[in-house]
Amino acid sequence: MTGILVPLVVLLPLIGAALALILGRHRRAQMAVSTTVLIAVAAIAAVLLAIIDSTGEGVVVAVGGWAPPHGIVLVVDRLSAIMLLISALVLLGVLVYAVGQGIADQHRETPVSIFHPSYLILSAGVFNAFIAGDLFNLYVGFEILLSASYVLLTLGGTGERIRAGVTYIIVSLVSSLFFLSAIALIYGATGTANIAQLSVRLAELPEGVQLILHLLLLLAFGIKAAVFPLSFWLPDSYPTAPAPVTAVFAGLLTKVGVYAIIRTETVIFSEHDLSTLLLVVGGLTMVVGILGALTQADIKRLLSFTLVSHIGYMIFGIGLATELGLAATIYYVVHHITVQTALFLTTGLIERFGGATSINGLAGLLKASPLLAILFFIPALNLGGIPPFSGFIGKVGLFVAGAEGAPEAVGGPAWLTWAVIAAGAATSLITLYALTRFWNMAFWRGRDELEGYESVLLNSVQEWEGAAPTTTATRTTPWLMVTATTALVAVTLLLTVFAGPLFDLAGRASANLTDPETYISLVFPGGIR
């Protein structure tokens, strides 16, 4: 029974994409198809998570009936199920937002008929990457989501998007070539691409060979996850895309890379240790990313830099390589997916409502739209790590894991762990500074403090303060967009309310991960021959 559900997670979006393409002329039918598909996938993911968590056993499906070492296997354990559920929910929220925007706009910047099929294919790729049980299938998942993301990023084909898209596409292509070469070499060295079997066979290789293969894989995934020296492409390419596209890219695509790194560290190279490297890189990612954010006036670019910076926390958690560290990482991934997406969606609303995204062109938004102010303020505080929000809980979890691990020097020397913890605390404060500065300028500051200010908002505010409170903003914010954003912000709050059970769940998921034997015996119940 559960075996049937697993392939559906990928099949439904693909079938939906085909249907949406056929229904290109009927926008309402298209919207119905894509919404139904994503709701169905979210439901399946919820059922899978419930079953897997209650039985404690993952679900393995051998596609086409070919037994594991030779055929393609789909593996869903607790981590995969968590990632499936949260990404399906976020994809659904962003879809509703995009539908709201599409209905309101009806212009060439967002050709909706192409948007829906590409969006569903992107979803299929993301889901496929999360359930892939062998390295080559993971590669295929990456390629599916990347191809769709190329289309989404260059949607409309304006000069700006093409320029940004070229950087993104070429960087992604290079990372794919690295990944494919790594698979070829790993296959040559071990004769398999099955992740569970690799876990055993790679450990038998000479140290030098392991190091090269390990670094090659990390290089490929590091580009996708935007880890510091490989993150230069992200702030240049994400901000130009349409708001919903940026939101879903920021929320999900980098996390697929993080997920792949988690699998690499815990299962594929369970014996080979590169924790020190990960700690150093994680710390650098945090600091360099957030310093970049400080200098940005444009909120979209600012958020892109905080995105890069906060990837560092997850890399730090993976580098700790303890059970608590991984649990905190999983919680942090879930938190970051929702918060980053919510922030980018709110930015889309700000852009619509205020007519600008630059700190220099926005003022008086609080008076004009208190709801928008709240929608931005809550995720901003959350990302900055203010208690009681989930960002605080995740960061405290990571720091506690680091402090506990430091005396035993789990990943590298103890002083290094403490240094990264310090960097993390500083990053959190600087994030708060950067975001509240934007909030102060855009929302708190009165419009009279702004010289030569000309935007749609000015008219609306002026008339709002006058006797007749009639807003004349030419671009209103459709209720669907606001609802979707509010729903995502509500989800980030739920992460706080249910932090206890969620953290326990993340703990059980990481307990599965720290012992690669769990994964291996799941795929090969009878043991590897």
Partner 1 sequence: MTASLTLIVLMAVLFGAGIAIMLERSLTRVLIGFLLVGNAVNILIYLMSGSPGLAPILGEGVDESEISDPLPQAFVLTAIVINLGITAFMLALIYRSWWLAQLGEKGDLVDDEAELAEDAEEAADLLRSSAADDLAIQQMIDASDEEPSSRVRWSTSGEGAYRDRSRDRGDGDR
Q: Looking at 37, 82, 169, 337, which residue binds partner 1 (CB under 8 A)?
A: 169
Residue among 114, 103, 120 nearest 38 (CA) = 120
Contacts (CB under 8 A) with partner 1, residues 93-122: 106-108
Three-state DSSP state, 269: coil
Three-state DSSP state, 242: coil
Q: From residue 7, give the alpha-carbon distance in Å to each of 2, 4, 53, 97, 227.
A: 10, 6, 19, 27, 31
Residue 193 engages partner 1 in binding (rule: CB under 8 A): yes
Beta partners for residue 75, in sequence order:
60
Q: Looking at 58, 117, 165, 222, which residue binds partner 1 (CB under 8 A)?
A: 165
Q: Could you tell me the smallest distance in angstroms from the CB atom of residue 193 to partner 1? A: 7
Q: What is the full DSSP assignment across 318-353?
A: HHH-SHHHHHHHHHHHHHHHHHHHHHHHHHHHHHHH
Q: Could you tell me the smallest distance in angstroms from the CB atom of residue 143 to partner 1? A: 5
Q: Looking at 8, 11, 21, 27, which residue binds partner 1 (CB under 8 A)?
A: 27
Q: Looking at 50, 63, 173, 396, which residue binds partner 1 (CB under 8 A)?
A: 173
User: What CA dihedral angle connects 410, 412, 416 and 420, to 10 degrees?
Assistant: -60
Q: Could you tell me the smallest distance in angstroms from the CB atom of residue 188 to partner 1? A: 4
Residue 374 engages partner 1 in binding (rule: CB under 8 A): no
Residues with Cβ < 8 Å from 378, sequence gap 6 or more?
389, 489, 492, 493
Token pair, residue 438, equals 């934007």
Residue 297 engages partner 1 in binding (rule: CB under 8 A): no
Q: From residue 130, give the alpha-carbon distance in Å to each of 17, 37, 49, 81, 189.
A: 19, 18, 13, 8, 25
Indicate the residue type of 111.
Answer: P
Q: From residue 472, give the alpha-carbon distance in Å to each of 154, 202, 209, 347.
A: 32, 65, 66, 21
Residues with Cβ < 8 Å from 11, sequence gap 6 or more?
none
Using the contact rule CB under 8 A, the part of the chain among 89-97, 185-193, 321-329, 353-361 near partner 1 is: 185-193
Question: Measured between alpha carbons, how far is 286 from 282 in angstroms, rounded to an integer?
Answer: 6
Q: Looking at 150, 232, 377, 433, which residue binds partner 1 (CB under 8 A)?
A: 150
Q: Looking at 36, 158, 440, 472, which residue binds partner 1 (CB under 8 A)?
A: 158
Q: Could you tell me the smallest distance in angstroms from the CB atom of residue 480 to partner 1? A: 15
Using the contact rule CB under 8 A, the part of the chain among 154-162, 224-232, 364-372, 467-475 near partner 1 is: 154-162
Residue closer to partner 1 by CB (options 180, 456) is 180
Residue 29 engages partner 1 in binding (rule: CB under 8 A): no
Q: Please state, as a whole number, how many other Cβ atoms lie within 10 Å of the Cβ of residue 158.
A: 13
Residue closer to partner 1 by CB (options 7, 156) is 156
Alpha helix locations (H) across 191-322? 195-201, 207-225, 234-237, 243-248, 254-263, 275-294, 299-320
Tell me the HSE value of 286 on the side-chain side, using a 13 A CA sphere.
26
Q: Looking at 162, 291, 432, 528, which residue binds partner 1 (CB under 8 A)?
A: 162
Residue 476 engages partner 1 in binding (rule: CB under 8 A): no
Q: Could you tell me the smallest distance in angstroms from the CB atom of residue 299 to partner 1? A: 23
Q: Could you tell me the smallest distance in angstroms from the CB atom of residue 161 to partner 1? A: 10
Contact string (CB under 8 A) for partner 1, positions 127-146, x = contact: ---------x---x--x---
Q: Given the rule CB under 8 A, which residues bind partner 1?
A: 25, 27, 70, 106-108, 136, 140, 143, 147, 150-151, 154, 157-159, 162-163, 165-166, 169-170, 173-174, 177, 180-181, 183-185, 187-188, 193
